[in-house]
């Protein structure tokens, strides 16, 4: 809802138009209509500055709109104008500002206690030199504005001035009653209309005070008296807290998406006591609890846990994803979900990092597993994925109806996580094993891993130990294609497809791996499952022979 405007169109042109509007906070006890306020003409709460006189001469300086408070504080001196949400408003509502700089010069106020964003916003300043440097418009959410007015026992009154150059028309002439200059006023003093001839057109000017927002709160849905699937009768906070039957609610895991898409929330999956917990929380102020993943896209949570202290809108959000028991029964509780799949991927990558680190030490290339794969087994054991945002993004909700773009983005993330392994390190290992430097220097990350797999498989087949990597003669076929690593090549193609929109070219590679592309008509959720499984399998294919060699 608009609470302040300073607008100017076609300045000095034939169709010029100007609007100045302020909103006053008028106590409900004061009768309507409110007479025209003095500030209507200037369009600002305070014009110019107090005269510098004797000490204390401005002790009573207290800007107001003819004695009323205002929603937006505005000041100007004819050349420079400044705007901000009134101190009483943002302090009463607990709002926090953030600025958009450069040419925008806007300030946005958020209610971070909820959280709710952009509840009030507008331009910070403008200049006037023959014309205005920018239009200024301040808006505030209807709910927050009404909440403030309710707290103050007041209504919102718009005080405005409007001027426009209009073409001559019978309707306006009728108002002028045959005069060249007409001045129309309300008997109650709440408006004045001035119409006069000007350069073969009519100049219209209006001053008015109009009740715009009543002293009434916006109706808000409550979490009390909701009907939950599988629970008899309406549920209130009190009844949920006393739930002796320990009712269980099943949610579609799409419930998590809203929280995963914002950095304001913590949605890090936690593996504890053999189960995956996915309980969103907000900066220590509130949080869900005991939300457990069951099957691929199902969350199990107790009714009592849902009603533990948190804003009503969060409980309502969860309610919108609640499933009937019959619907929940259609989910396979043993099907692997995205968090568990990500955990398997992390385990395979950590094992690869450990194996490569041990192999590097044998050939004189000492690097820790963490340096190679960018993940610390100790950190993950102690804090999970808390400090690994890429893993958290990879483990975000993966609906069966996933879009093609979401699928490609997830494949790109998957590829970029493991691609941190330094190519130079892999090249030096191969060169230590006798592979020609001139040829290894031409290889990229996937082909380097493929070459290490080829060498490892041959040494393992010959029952060699890791010292055999120190050799002068390369193993035959060290650079041959190896289907056991095909998934990494497909992952690379899918990453390229995301960057260059060439998915149709990468699709046959998925088919070559054995994926039924006809299922993509229902979404790409099964496709991301398939790709992740194959990538994990590919890392296992490297770890198996390499692990046996290192163990001898």
**Tens digit of each residue's pLDDT (9 = 90 or more) over 397-453:** 999 999 999 999 999 999 999 999 999 999 999 999 899 999 999 999 999 999 999
The structure's pTM equals 0.83
Which pLDDT band, with edges at 50, 70 and 90, does 519 fall under?
confident
**What average pLDDT score do residues 84-98 get?**
97
Q: What is the DSSP string of 504-525?
A: HHHHHHHHHHT--GGGGGG-SH
What is the percent of the chain where pLDDT is above 70?
Answer: 99
Q: Return the top range by mean pLDDT from 119-133, 169-183, 433-447, 527-541.
A: 527-541
| Contact by Cβ (8 Å): 530, 409 | no
Q: How far is CA 112 from CA 28, 142, 316, in A?
A: 29, 17, 19
Is the pLDDT score of 170 beyond 70?
Answer: yes
pLDDT per position as a tens digit, 224-262: 999 999 999 999 999 999 998 899 999 999 999 999 999
What pLDDT, on a 0 to 100 scale, did the predictor assign at position 299? 97
CA of residue 528 relative to chain centroid, distance: 23
Is 457 within 8 Å of 545 (Cβ atoms)? Answer: yes
DSSP of 181-239 = EEEEE-TTSSEEEEEEEETTEEEEEEEEEEEEE-S-PPP---STTB--TT--S-B-HHH
Mean pLDDT over 364-372 rounds to: 93
Q: Is the pLDDT of residue 278 over 80?
A: yes
Contact predicate 26/148, CB 8 Å: no
Cα Dmax for the chain: 112
Q: Residue 395: is its pLDDT beyond 70? A: yes
Q: In residues, how long is the chain?
A: 552
pLDDT of residue 2 exceeding 70, the answer is yes
**How does residue 477 score in pLDDT terms, banded at 50, 70 and 90?**
confident
Spell 99-108 as b/e; 16+ CB within 10 A means b. Answer: eeeeeebbbb
CA-wise closest residue to 163 among 16, 2, 47: 16
| CA dihedral sign, ordered 447, 449, 455, 458 | negative
With a cut of 90, say whether residue 512 has pLDDT above it.
no
The 8-class DSSP code of residue 69 comes to E
Q: What is the pLDDT of residue 499?
A: 66
pLDDT of residue 131: 85
Are 353 and 369 in contact, with CB atoms under 8 Å apart?
A: yes
If you average pLDDT over residues 329-342, what whole number do you get?
A: 95
Q: What pLDDT band is residue 177 in, cutting at 50, 70 and 90?
A: confident
- In this predicted structure, what is the pLDDT of residue 500? 64
Comparing C-alpha atoms, which of 198, 206, 180 is closest to residue 14?
A: 198
DSSP H or E segment with residue 341: helix 338-362
Q: CA 503 to CA 499: how far, in whole Å?
A: 10
φ, ψ (nearest 5 deg) of residue 212: -115, -35
Are 95 and 78 in contact by the 8 Å Cβ rule? The answer is no
Comparing CA positions, the residue from 27, 25, 37, 29 lying closest to residue 189 is: 37
Q: pLDDT tens-digit profile of 298-319?
A: 999 999 999 999 999 999 999 9
Measured distance CA(441)–CA(22) in Å, rounded: 70
Q: Kindly list the strands in the beta sheet with 298-302, ordered across the sheet, starting from the edge strand earlier in the chain.
A: 270-272, 275-277, 292-293, 298-302, 248-252, 322-323
Over residues 266-290, the mean pLDDT reads: 94
């Amino acid at each position: 809802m608009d609470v302040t405007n300073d607008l100017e169109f076609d300045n000095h042109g034939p169709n010029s138009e100007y609007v100045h509007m302020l909103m006053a906070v008028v106590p409900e006890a004061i009768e309507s209509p409110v007479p025209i306020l003095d500030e209507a003409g200037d369009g600002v709460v305070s014009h110019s500055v107090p005269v510098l006189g004797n000490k204390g001469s401005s002790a009573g300086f207290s800007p107001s709109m003819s004695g009323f408070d205002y929603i937006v504080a505005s000041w100007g001196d004819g050349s420079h104008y400044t705007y901000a949400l009134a101190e009483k408003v943002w302090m009463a509502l607990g709002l926090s500002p953030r600025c958009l700089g450069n040419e925008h010069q806007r300030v946005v106020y958020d209610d971070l206690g909820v959280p709710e964003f952009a509840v009030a916003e507008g331009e910070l300043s403008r200049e006037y030199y023959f014309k205005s440097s920018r239009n200024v418009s301040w808006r505030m959410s209807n709910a927050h504005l009404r909440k403030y007015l309710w707290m103050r026992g007041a209504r919102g009154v718009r005080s405005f001035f409007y001027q426009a150059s209009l073409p001559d028309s019978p309707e306006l002439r009728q108002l002028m009653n045959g005069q060249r200059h007409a001045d129309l006023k309300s008997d109650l003093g709440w408006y004045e209309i001035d119409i006069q001839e000007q350069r073969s057109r009519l100049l219209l000017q209006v001053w008015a005070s109009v009740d715009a927002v009543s002293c009434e709160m916006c109706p808000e849905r409550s979490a009390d008296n909701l009907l939950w699937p599988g629970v008899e009768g309406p549920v209130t906070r009190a009844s949920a807290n006393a739930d002796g039957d320990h009712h269980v609610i099943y949610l579609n895991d799409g419930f998590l998406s809203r929280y995963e898409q914002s950095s304001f929330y913590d949605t890090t999956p936690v593996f504890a006591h053999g189960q995956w917990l996915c309980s969103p929380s907000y900066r220590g102020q509130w949080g869900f609890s005991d939300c457990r993943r069951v099957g691929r896209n199902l969350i199990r949570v107790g009714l009592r846990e849902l009603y533990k202290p948190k804003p009503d809108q969060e409980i309502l959000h969860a309610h919108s994803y609640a499933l009937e028991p019959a619907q929940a029964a259609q989910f396979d509780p043993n099907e692997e979900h995205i968090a568990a799949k990500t955990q398997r991927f992390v385990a395979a990558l950590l094992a690869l990092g450990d194996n490569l680190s041990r192999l590097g030490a044998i050939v004189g290339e000492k690097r820790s597993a963490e340096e190679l794969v960018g993940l610390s087994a100790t950190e993950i054991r102690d804090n999970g994925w808390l400090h690994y945002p890429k893993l958290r993004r990879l483990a975000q909700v993966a609906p069966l109806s996933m879009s093609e773009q979401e699928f490609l983005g997830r494949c790109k993330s998957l590829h970029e996580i493991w691609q941190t392994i330094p190519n130079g390190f892999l090249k030096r290992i191969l060169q230590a094993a006798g592979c020609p430097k001139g040829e290894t220097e031409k290889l990229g990350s996937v082909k380097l891993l493929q070459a290490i797999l080829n060498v490892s498989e041959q040494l393992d087949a010959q029952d060699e130990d890791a010292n055999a990597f120190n050799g002068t003669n390369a193993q035959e076929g060290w650079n041959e294609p190896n289907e056991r690593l095909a998934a990494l090549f497909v992952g690379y193609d899918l990453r390229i497809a995301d960057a260059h929109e060439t998915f149709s070219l990468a699709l046959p590679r998925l088919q070559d791996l054995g994926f039924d592309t006809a299922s993509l008509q229902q979404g790409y959720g099964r496709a991301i499952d398939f790709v992740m499984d194959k990538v994990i399998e590919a890392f296992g294919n490297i770890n198996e022979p390499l692990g046996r060699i290192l163990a001898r």
